[in-house]
Amino acid sequence: MYTKELVARLYKKMSLIRRFELRLAEIYHTDAVKSPVHLSVGQEATAVGLCDPLEKTDIISNTYRCHATYIAKGGDLNEMMAELYGKSTGCAGGKAGSMHLVDMKNGIMGASAVVGTTIPVSTGYALAMQMEAETTGRQRVTVAVFGDGATEEGCFYESINFAALRHLPIIYFCENNRLAIHTPLEKRWATEKLCERVGTFGIETHKLETDDVFAVRDTVAKAAANIRDQRSGPIFIECSTYRWLEHVGPRDDHEDDYRDLDEYRRWKDNDQITRLAAMLGKDVVNRLEDEITVEIKAAEEFAEASPYPADEELYKNVYAS
Amino acid sequence: MFMQADPLQKNNAADQEGVRLIRYVDALREAFEQEMERDPSVFLFGLDVDDHKGIQGSTVGLQDKFGKDRVFCTPLSEDAMTGVAIGAAMAGLRPIHVHIRMDFMLLCMNQLVNMAAKSHYMYNGQVKVPLVVRTMIGRSWGQGGQHSQALHSLFMHIPGLKVVAPSNANDAKGCMIAAIRDNNPVIFIEHRLLYAVDGYVPYKSFEVPFGKARVLQEGDHVTIVAVSHMVMEALRAKKHLENVGIQAEIIDPISLWPLDMDTIMQSVRKTGRLLVVDNAWLTCGASSEIITQVYEVCRKTGENVPDMARMGFAFTTCPTTKPLENVFYPNSRTISAQAYEMVKGKGNRWEPAVDAKTEIDAFKGPF
């Protein structure tokens, strides 16, 4: 059912994300990255499953935990590493850093550190895409990516109401890792019926209980196709996932005694990268891993060799001309 | 019925061809119509923009002319609708988002401060946010504490935003056209009491550039910089002061950010006295900024620091009842008295008689 090429593509993207993140965790103590990082280790499958069916000209918005979706959507790896290093060759010349990665040429809207903030912004982007389609006849899709915590913000409900009202071409994709910093869902939600809540706005909803990368991909592919062909937006997808590391920083914080170790084990046993590696076999995996090694090393070298921005950069782009 | 003093027309010599007297609110409407005709990426939205009243007439007929895709009402949702405007602007459109009262803009602060103002900088030029946020200040006939606030200084504080508060019909039209064409978020402040005030406005499309103050009336004795509706009061004060032999120079900054300090400095060098009358509270406000910048220029150049004073709202919540509201705001008499004392020396008190009927008295609700 799934071709070798597809499995290899998904595997490579997921493994690239994980190894990039683990490399960051490894070098973090050197202080080359002088800013907070919210690593995506464990959440690769949702990001890759989500982005694989999207086209380059489709748009995604991001949260501050944006490394996985940035890479999955095709964001430039060298520019990403340079941005994390605060270098002038970074995707935003060092002005953004980890929490605000952006790559408009690959359809990646700038990420925001303020939870929920990009939900209405991507909704506005979808409004523009709807207007655009009236002239071009071609409907681009916008995907708003956010976590479970963002659904507690007022602007989430304001946005989905507006999107439903105007049938906007947007997929609302909730990466539900059940944690807001360190606070579990049980302390934040009166009920877990998120899809039901969203459904009352007249929005089609899908709940994925695991991060099965094929299921995520198929669900998004179908949603995107429906929006493109039948203008049937908005569509809401809630996908379960699991954050392996601490909220911010490079550490595994399971020793901190606020998380359920059994749950961690269950997610690790269900790791999509391990699963797809088994499907591909050793030879293919080794080849892909070699490619990943080269890509990460190149990004690191690019970042290290790049200059820091000159002082004059401080006042650039305060206002647009 | 009411209009600003004539010299505005004179100062606008280049635009004199084909001017006629229209209301501030109609000048705004004309700006939307001309820009929407010129540029298909311009659209206008907000609560009530397509109802029968059309935002005091400023949007009446626009939906009929430009269709429901380009002129439409929205849910209240001020926070999300601001984000929607920002996203649409990033995608290449030119949204005009309308707020019936400025007080509701406090619900938009996250989007305006964290996204609209920062996106161009934080994403290093990868996106622009050409957004106009129209917002009305209320006054009179009991607008009270939450329908009257003038919060321009909150926005002046934030790098990335522009803030304009035109005081007359000509500038309302020219600034609106400039705001729509600007590639940055512009907070466009409209005072309700100015809506019915007539002014000479060219038929043709034109821009009033930001960062260029207008000397509305010339004088040698004292410079009065007045903001938004306070320009009307300052112009009335000018007439009162003439009766006692004092010539005030009246300056309207028009755009509060960028702020044209050169024009203000030039005037202050002539008069040696500066009175800033803000249509807002004083603390950390536009008046603080203007006076500080005058001081900084003088310190840098070694010039004498002029005699400076400022006036604005009483540091209270705006009361609803008329007698208290009357003492909450500066007016032509209190401005005259302050200017008189500055010119004649401390302790010299004089206050003119009450003005004839003004746009303040003429204003009635219920809206």
Q: Concatenated DSSP letters for A83-114?
A: HHTT-TTSTTTTSS-GGG--BGGGTBPPP-SS
Give the C-alpha separation, A101 to B319, whole Å.
47
Pick from A199-203, A249-253, B154-158, B289-293: least confident: A249-253
How high is the pLDDT of residue B367?
74
Q: Which of B80, B92, B122 sits opposite A128 (nearest CB)?
A: B92
Q: Which of B82, B114, B120 sits opposite A320 (nearest CB)?
A: B120
Give the C-alpha separation, A160 to A125, whole Å.
13
Instruction: Identify which of B93, B30, B16 has the alpha carbon closest to the alpha carbon of residue B58.
Output: B30
Give the C-alpha separation, B355 to B359, whole Å.
11
Helix (H) or strand (E) holding B21: strand B19-23
Angle at B33 between CA B100 and CA A125, to 5 degrees: 65
Give the C-alpha separation, B235 to A91, whole Å.
52
Q: Which of A92, A165, A319 sits opposite B126 (nearest CB)?
A: A92
A150 pLDDT above the threshold of 70:
yes
Instruction: Identify which of A289, A235, A232 has the alpha carbon closest to the alpha carbon of residue A20.
Output: A289
Six-digit token string for A114: 């303020």
B149 pLDDT above the threshold of 80:
yes
Six-digit token string for B174: 């020219």
Give the C-alpha separation, A82 to A94, whole Å.
8
- Give the pLDDT band (50/70/90) at residue B142: confident
Residue from A63, A89, A121 to probe the interface with B (highest B Cβ count within 10 Å): A121
Tens digits of residue pLDDT in B172-201? 999 999 999 999 999 999 999 999 999 999
CB-count exposure of residue A25 (10 Å: 0-12, 13-18, 19+): middle
DSSP bridge partners of A239: A175, A208
B258 pLDDT above the threshold of 50:
yes
DSSP bridge partners of B257: B163
B16 pLDDT above the threshold of 80:
no
B214-217 and B248-252 as β-strands: parallel, antiparallel, unpaired?
antiparallel
Owner of token pair 């464990």: A42
Q: Which residue of A has its CA nearest to B84?
A: A124
**Which residues of chain B neighbour A118 with C-beta distances below 8 Å?**
83, 115
CB B86 to CB A120 under 8 A?
yes
Helical axes A282-305 vs A272-280, angle rounded to 10°: 130
Residue length, chain A? 321
How high is the pLDDT of residue A1?
79
Give the C-alpha separation, B215 to A243, whole Å.
61
Mean pLDDT across the stretch B80-89? 98
CB-count exposure of residue A187 (10 Å: 0-12, 13-18, 19+): exposed
- Total CB pairs under 8 A between chain A and B: 144
State the smallest CA–CA distance between residue B173 and chain A in angstroms.
21
Q: Domains in chain A, please, with CATH?
A: 4-307 (3.40.50.970)
DSSP bridge partners of A206: A237
Residues 108-167 of A with CB under 8 A from B: 109-110, 112, 114, 117-129, 131-132, 134, 154-155, 158-159, 161-162, 165
Angle at B214 between CA B212 and CA B219, to 5 degrees: 135
B101 pLDDT above the threshold of 80:
yes
B218 pLDDT above the threshold of 50:
yes
Instruction: Identify which of B258, B252, B277, B260 has the alpha carbon closest to the alpha carbon of residue B334.
Output: B277
The Cβ of residue B111 has, within 10 Å, a number of other Cβ atoms equal to 31
Question: What CA–CA distances, in Å, run from B222 to B62, B243, B260, B272?
Answer: 44, 15, 18, 7
Contact B161, B339 (CB under 8 A): no
Give the C-alpha separation, A110 to B56, whole Å.
37
How high is the pLDDT of residue B297?
98
In Å, the largest CA–CA distance within chain B is 62
Q: Is A42 left (phi over 0), alpha (psi -120 to 50) or beta?
A: left
Tens digits of residue pLDDT in B259-290? 999 999 999 999 999 999 999 999 999 999 99
B6 pLDDT above the threshold of 50:
no
CB A112 to CB B75 under 8 A?
no
Q: What's the number of CA atoms in the CB half-sphere (13 Å) around residue B135?
A: 28
How high is the pLDDT of residue B69?
95
How high is the pLDDT of residue B366?
78
Interface of B with A (CB under 8 A): 43, 69, 74-75, 77, 79-93, 95, 110-111, 114-115, 119-130, 159-160, 162, 183-184
Instruction: Identify which of B11, B107, B327 has the alpha carbon closest to the alpha carbon of residue A120.
Output: B107
Instruction: Identify which of B275, B304, B280 has the alpha carbon closest to the alpha carbon of residue B291.
Output: B275
Q: Which of B87, B121, B125 sits opposite A121 (nearest CB)?
A: B87
Six-digit token string for B358: 């003004």
Contact A160, B80 (CB under 8 A): no
B1 pLDDT above the threshold of 80:
no
CB-count exposure of residue B241 (10 Å: 0-12, 13-18, 19+): buried
A309 touches chain B (CB under 8 A): no
Mean pLDDT across the stretch A135-152? 97
How high is the pLDDT of residue B220?
98
- Give the pLDDT band (50/70/90) at residue B356: confident
Mean pLDDT across the stretch A188-207? 97
Tens digits of residue pLDDT in A244-297? 999 999 999 999 989 999 999 999 999 999 999 999 999 999 999 999 999 999
Q: Which of B88, B127, B160 sits opposite A104 (nearest CB)?
A: B127
Average pLDDT over chain A reads 96
Residue from A125, A312, A313, A314 to probe the interface with B (highest B Cβ count within 10 Å): A125
CB A124 to CB B126 under 8 A?
no
Percent of chain A with pLDDT over 90: 98
Tens digits of residue pLDDT in B290-329? 999 999 999 999 999 999 999 999 999 999 999 999 999 9
Q: Which of B83, B123, B160 sits opposite A318 (nearest CB)?
A: B160
Give the C-alpha separation, B284 to B290, whole Å.
11
CB A110 to CB B122 under 8 A?
yes
**Which residues of chain A neighbour B69 with C-beta distances below 8 Å?**
131, 134
Pick from B176-180, B217-221, B226-230, B357-361: least confident: B357-361
Owner of token pair 């298909």: B40
**Which residues of chain A neighbour B115 with C-beta distances below 8 Å?**
112, 117-118, 121
Instruction: Identify which of A219, A212, A211 has the alpha carbon closest to the alpha carbon of residue A242.
Output: A211
How high is the pLDDT of residue B2?
63
CB B81 to CB A120 under 8 A?
yes
State the smallest CA–CA distance between residue B61 and chain A in angstroms.
21
CB A121 to CB B86 under 8 A?
yes
Question: What CA–CA distances, in Å, run from A19 to A42, A297, B99?
Answer: 11, 11, 48
Question: What CA–CA distances, in Å, run from A298 to A179, A301, A304, B334?
Answer: 34, 5, 10, 70
Q: Which residues of B are catalytic?
A: 78, 147
Give the C-alpha separation, A23 to A211, whole Å.
23
The Cβ of residue B357 has, within 10 Å, a number of other Cβ atoms equal to 10
Residues 32-91 of A with CB under 8 A from B: 59, 91
Q: Domains in chain B, please, with CATH?
A: 7-202 (3.40.50.970), 214-342 (3.40.50.920)
Pick from A259-263, B69-73, B231-235: least confident: A259-263
A78 pLDDT above the threshold of 90:
yes
CB A121 to CB B77 under 8 A?
no
How high is the pLDDT of residue A276?
98
